[in-house]
Amino acid sequence: MKKIDYIIKYPERKYKKFWNPLFRDKKNWLFGYFKPTARSLEELTYLELHKYPELFLLVKGRIVLTLKKNKNSRIEELELKPGEVVIVNCWHNGYALEPDSVSLVIERPVNPTKKIML
């Protein structure tokens, strides 16, 4: 995490990992770039459920969120649209329809997580 300066810039192209947590405001919120590596639902091996909500906003490319309302619901696929924030409070993961696709993520820095394998 970078020291707080009066302006901090985070160009998405600088960050290469699947999950790049980049800044947090103490215990309140964390910002990161999510760069899914899976290219289809079949390539995903798990879904996650966090205790607190998670925000997504498409930054580049095409990303599909894979969502399950409850453990026994079917998986719904929701493509992120440019200019549309999506907030998720359920089991989720995501894949990219185009290489180098990126979403902004906001959530609490401590967000207890459960996983189910697919």
User: Minimum Å distance from CB 15 to a second copy?
Assistant: 10
User: Which positions from 83 to 102 touch a second copy by CB under 8 A, shown as an x/- string?
Assistant: xxxxxxxx-----------x
Q: Which of 36, 67, 93, 101 binds a second copy (CB under 8 A)?
A: 67
Residue found by looking up tokens 């020291």 in the block: 3
**Contact status: 50 vs a second copy (CB under 8 A):** no
Strands 76-79 and 63-68: antiparallel
- Please name which of 52, 36, 51 lies closest in space to residue 99, comparing C-alpha atoms: 36
Query: How buried is residue 47: exposed, middle or buried, by Cβ count under 10 Å (0-12/13-18/19+)?
Result: buried
Q: Which of 31, 39, 62, 75 binds a second copy (CB under 8 A)?
A: 31
User: Minimum Å distance from CB 38 to a second copy?
Assistant: 20
